Chains A and B, each alone.
Chain A
Amino acid sequence: MQEYSIIESIKNGEEEALTQLYIRYRTEFIAWMNKAYGCSSEQAREIYQQAIIIFYENITTGKLTELKSSEKTYLFAIGKNKFLEESKAAQRFTDETEDVLQGLTYEKEEYKEEEEKVLVVVEECLGKLGDPCKTLLELYYYHKKSMAEICELLQYKNPATAKNLKYKCMNRLRKIIEQESPKLTF
């Protein structure tokens, strides 16, 4: 089996691929973080989860299309990077890590106070939005599925129907936000 299978599987939306990946390197990763950086097991687990998510997002957004090294090397490199970032050990990661992580990026989850307030409202309102809208918006904006893929996954007639529905769902979400939080203008 080729190395790209993990990327293919994740792209195909096989959730188990991610679960399996998670279980496979978890013990080793935590032990390595304990030993190499003196992390507590809890801190190591937290970093490991972040690393898995970054790995996933880089695949779905198409930033990572092929593995130049093994998935383990990637995961461990992301973990190391995350740890150094969090521990504010000012030095940048080593050349070796930089090489491995080439092309890998992730959104820093830092927002201004005002923005943070809006985000919390959006997240609350998503719960009220319900399906199929919530799933559709997640598939499009988070899992980066194309309209053709969404159409197949949610069994719509054609991509144009899905696209039209996405527009309606965004408006519905906007309305819920306005009702819940009239001060916010959307």
Chain B
Amino acid sequence: MKSQYDLELIEKYLDNALSAKEVEEVNQRLAEDDEFRRCVDQSRLMIHGIRRNARMQLRRKLDEIEESLIETDETKEAKIISLTHSRILVSIAAAVTLLIISTLLIINLPETPQNLYVQYYQPYRNIVTANVRGELQELSKYELAFTAYDSGNYELATNLFKELLAKEATATYLFYLANSYLALEKNTQAAKYFEQVIHLNEDFVDQAKWYLALIALNEKNIEEAKSLLKELKTSGYRSEEVTEILTKL
């Protein structure tokens, strides 16, 4: 066991905090005292261990981000695959329909509400932050959330918007959180937050109604969809599309 004096001396030496006199002492000890030299080496390794361990923690943090990003990529791929499958089904269905039409004359098949949803649904574009491509500007969770949203990392975006909401409940955060959920096809959660946007009655009220109407269509809740669309007709938001859907229903 080293004396307290030695340990303090070694630590100051490794932290570059020695006085000129102490430097002289350490140099002499290093040249003559094997035990002292070994203790210095071990202490240095201790510091390296602390650093390497901290670096590993940072790596794990990056891995966590990476995992959430990869998951989102996979969800996207899965969607593309299922979309391709449904496209094939759609074309088969179309061919069959055509056959029926050509043999049984024209039957006007009504559009299903879900089809209307697919036809009209699009995630709301980010109108809040400029597309961050250039130099790193204000570095905040706020921008990070929108960066994730813009790049389609909706899992990460939901987490970040929720964190932001915990600090401040704004219509903007609620609206984009709802949109992130909708993009992940978590309609119940999406609807809950769109309703809160409307309840707050600040920004994005019409937009929230539009998406709630689409969710209602997707869930075959025609009456609710109609009532929301009629409200939108009065306000004039997306008037063309609103009228189109109303006539199709």
A185-B144 contact given A1-B135, A3-B135, CB 8 Å threshold: no
A186-B46 in contact (CB<8A): yes
Residue pairs across A and B with CB atoms within 8 Å: the count is 121
- Asked if B119 is at the interface (CB within 8 A of a chain A CB), the reply is no
B65-A122 in contact (CB<8A): no
- Asked if A89 is at the interface (CB within 8 A of a chain B CB), the reply is no
Chain B contributes a number of interface residues (CB within 8 A of A) equal to: 44
A174-B46 contact given A14-B139, A16-B140, A71-B136, CB 8 Å threshold: yes
Could you tell me the distance in whole angstroms from the C-beta of B105 to the nearest C-beta in chain A?
Answer: 52
Could you tell me the distance in whole angstroms from the C-beta of A59 to the nearest C-beta in chain B?
Answer: 12
A6-B136 contact given A24-B147, A185-B39, CB 8 Å threshold: yes
Q: Which residues of A contact B69 (CB under 8 A)?
A: 23, 26
B144-A19 in contact (CB<8A): yes
- Asked if A142 is at the interface (CB within 8 A of a chain B CB), the reply is yes
A16-B46 in contact (CB<8A): no
A16-B135 in contact (CB<8A): no
B interface majority secondary structure? helix
Tell me the chain A residues, 94-113 only, with Cβ under 8 Å from chain B.
Answer: 107, 109, 111
A5-B45 in contact (CB<8A): no
What 7 A-B pairs have minimum CB-CB distances, sorted nearest first?
A122-B49, A142-B54, A17-B139, A1-B137, A138-B54, A6-B136, A9-B139
B38-A185 in contact (CB<8A): yes
By CB atoms of chain A within 10 A, which of B65, B135, B140, B144 has the most?
Answer: B135
- Asked if B143 is at the interface (CB within 8 A of a chain A CB), the reply is yes
- Chain A interface residues toward B at CB < 8 A: 1, 3, 5-6, 9, 14-17, 19-24, 26-27, 45, 49, 52-53, 56-57, 70-71, 107, 109, 111, 115, 118-119, 121-123, 126, 137-138, 141-143, 167, 170-171, 173-174, 177, 184-186
Measured CB to CB, the nearest residue on chain A to B141 is A16
What are 21 inter-chain pairs, A to B, with CB distance below 8 A?
A6-B139, A15-B61, A16-B139, A19-B144, A20-B136, A52-B62, A70-B135, A107-B51, A111-B48, A115-B45, A119-B48, A122-B45, A123-B53, A123-B56, A137-B50, A138-B54, A141-B51, A167-B11, A170-B11, A170-B46, A186-B46
Given the complex of chains A and B, what is the CA–CA distance between A169 and B147 in angstroms? 40
